[in-house]
């Protein structure tokens, strides 16, 4: 989160909402990349 900044850059409320949604999507993507894929063998 610190890499994305502590404050919102946009002044308009609708743009702030969009900015938060983009940040959430990025964090979800980073989390998905970090989760190992486990496969049951046998």
**Cα–Cα distance measured from residue 32 to residue 37, given in angstroms and rounded to the nearest whole number:** 10
Predicted confidence at residue 13, as pLDDT, reads 92
Go through 4-40 and write b for each residue having 16 or more CB atoms within 10 A of its CB, e for each that does not: eeeeeeeeeeeeeeebeeeeeeeeeeeeeeeeeeeee
pLDDT digits (tens, 9 = 90+) for 1-42: 556 677 778 889 999 899 889 988 988 988 888 888 888 887
- Strand ranges in the chain using DSSP code E only, listed in sequence order: none
Question: Is the entire prediction scored with pTM above 0.85?
Answer: no
Q: What is the DSSP letter of 3?
A: G
Predicted confidence at residue 1, as pLDDT, reads 53
Predicted confidence at residue 21, as pLDDT, reads 92
The domains of the chain are located at 1-41
C-alpha triplet 36, 3, 10: angle, nearest 5°: 125
């Amino acid at each position: 989160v610190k890499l994305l900044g502590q404050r919102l850059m946009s002044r308009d409320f609708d743009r702030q909402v969009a900015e938060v949604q983009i940040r959430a999507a990025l964090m979800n993507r980073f989390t998905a990349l970090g989760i190992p894929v486990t496969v049951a063998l046998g």
